[in-house]
Chain A
């Protein structure tokens, strides 16, 4: 029996997504346990972003179920969805900081308006999170005054300040100059050490080897293969994964 198994922090069940005629996700099943870092790889167009975006319903799943700590994300009233979204932090490739607000205000906005935290508490929490990503000294800077790497770290702080149960990263370093990638990966590594549950879509294979508990390979809207990083990178089974890995390492070389 599975009674002893702990409730997954994030559970994706039979998830399907169609855009009109095109089926982008077909029957995705994925359980992410508390404190786990699941790394997702796959060719362009395989549905990685769509899967992440279904998890907090930025994209509306066609069918299936999403549960966060056992609570459903689908089939709930909008107000309840807004509350559930607080538990699912999201980091985008394009950062999407609010350009008219300082770094600090970027991090306090949802705390104040969605969580209804008092201003002093929200600001204290924001400073704590900015400190965590190494940017406390930039609290009063506008996003336009920050480098891409710094903007992405503020975006991570913005999500963390809401005390999410799970963090979703959609190619968080893909828009960055190579020399800025390291600072963002370091923050993600720290988060993992701190026990945060994370799903990371990325091309940083080295990071996957070091930090991932599990690597999931997607292609054509399905999970083709999954396993520990040593297995996936060292001993790929499916031809599609082998082809993908040789293509990626070819690009890197």
Chain B
């Protein structure tokens, strides 16, 4: 029992690792803010293209969405970070992570937005156009507010996935939470910093997870 506590829940080691982990947590937060924002914007743009009436706009959007939903983000990240220098483009770790996540997340967010847009009855768009709203005004004021509200639980679930996924940035030596915890583990020969990192993720995500299950319960009751 003591050996388990010593190996995973060592208070002294956790205390020593705290400054490093907090720094890592701060980087993770910044990273999350940037990649989630990028993903939402890219996803919305893609979803609008994919919902367009013109096949010329729709087709490339669908191809993009399918491709980047299928490629593992870790492969993308390593390709961008380690592969691009061979063609003369050197990108810093943070930027590499942002690009990889933009490609991956916007495909996922696009699929969520698109299903939300598709679920809005056609009469909504027709009513809006019949009152003289332009296609983009109808989209912005009538369709999207309803679509987004309907898929809010899915959007939030995806945000949770993204936050966890940012830990793959550790493979390009970006000193986010997992990278920092793993450093501390290597230095102290003790896994407690990793447990602490897991605890920090839990702290960060638990409220969000609660909100989502509240949403989903609310939905199933109101239906």
B156 located at the interface, meaning its Cβ lies under 8 Å from any Cβ of chain A in the complex: no
Whether A86 and B132, one on each chain, are in contact in the complex, defined by CB atoms closer than 8 angstroms, is: yes
Any B CB within 8 A of the CB of A162: yes
Instruction: Choose one: A56, A98, A99, A100; the contact of B130 (CB below 8 Å).
Output: A56
Task: Determine whether A83 belongs to the interface, using a CB cutoff of 8 Å to chain B.
Answer: yes
Decide if A253 is an interface residue (CB 8 Å cutoff). Answer: no
Chain B: minimal CB distance from A146 (Å): 16
Q: Which B-chain residue is minimally distant from A82 (CB atoms)?
A: B132
Q: Is A133 in the interface zone, CB < 8 Å from B?
A: no
CB within 8 Å of B: which of A51-105?
A: 56, 58, 78-79, 82-83, 85-86, 88-90, 92, 94, 96-100
Which chain B residues lie closer than 8 Å to A109 at the CB level?
128, 131, 133, 141-142
Tell me, rounded to whole Å, the shortest Cβ–Cβ distance linking B28 to chain A: 34
**Residue A125 interfacial (CB < 8 Å):** no
A110 with B121: CB separation less than 8 A: no
Bitwise, B100-138 to A at CB < 8 A (1) or not (0) is 000000000000000000000101101111111110010
B124 touches A96 (CB 8 A): yes
Across the interface, do A114 and B141 meet the contact criterion of CB distance under 8 Å? no
Q: Does A113 interact with chain B (Cβ within 8 Å)?
A: yes
A158 within 8 A of B: yes
**What's the minimum C-beta distance from A80 to chain B, rounded to whole angstroms?**
11
A78/B131 in contact, CB under 8 A: no
A-contacting residues, B21-45, CB 8 Å:
none
Nearest Cβ on chain B to A170's Cβ, whole angstroms = 11
Given the contacts A99-B146, A100-B145, A100-B149, A85 and B123 also touching, CB distance less than 8 Å: no
B146 (CB) vs chain A CBs: closest residue: A100
Indicate if the CB atoms of B131 and A162 lie closer than 8 Å.
yes
In the complex formed, the residue of B with least CB distance to A114 is B132
Chain A interface size, as a band, is 20 to 34
Known A113-B133, A114-B131: A98·B126 in contact at CB below 8 Å: no
User: Once bound together, how far apart are the Cα atoms of A195 and B128, in whole Å?
Assistant: 25
Contacts of B123 in A (CB 8 A): 92, 94, 96
Confirm or deny: A115 has a beta carbon within 8 angstroms of a beta carbon on chain B.
yes
Shortest distance between the CB of A165 and any CB in chain B (Å): 13
**Min CB–CB distance B136 → chain A (angstroms):** 10
Q: Which residues of A contact B134 (CB under 8 A)?
A: 78-79, 82, 114
Contact B132 A115 (CB under 8 A): yes
List residues of chain A with CB within 8 A of the CB of B145: 100
Q: In the complex the two chains form, is A90's CB within 8 Å of B130's CB? A: yes
B residues near A115, Cβ cutoff 8 Å: 132
Given known contacts A96-B121, A100-B145, A100-B149, A110 and B133 CB-to-CB distance under 8 angstroms? yes
Which residues on the A side are within 8 Å of B137 (C-beta)? 113-114
> How many Å lie between the Cα of A89 and that of B132 in the bound state?
10
Given A109-B141, A113-B141, also A96-B127 (CB < 8 A): yes
Tell whether, in the assembled complex, residue A110 and residue B132 are in contact, meaning their CB atoms are under 8 Å apart.
Answer: yes
Name the A residues within 8 Å of B126 (CB-CB): 58, 92, 96
Q: Which of A79, A113, A158 has the most CB of B within 10 A?
A: A113
16 cross-chain CB contacts under 8 A: A58-B126, A85-B129, A85-B130, A88-B130, A96-B121, A98-B127, A98-B128, A100-B145, A109-B128, A109-B133, A109-B141, A109-B142, A110-B133, A113-B141, A114-B131, A159-B130
Supplied contacts A85-B131, A110-B133, 19 more A-B pairs, CB within 8 Å: A79-B134, A82-B132, A83-B132, A85-B132, A86-B131, A94-B121, A94-B123, A96-B121, A96-B123, A96-B124, A97-B127, A99-B146, A100-B145, A100-B149, A109-B131, A109-B133, A109-B141, A113-B137, A159-B131
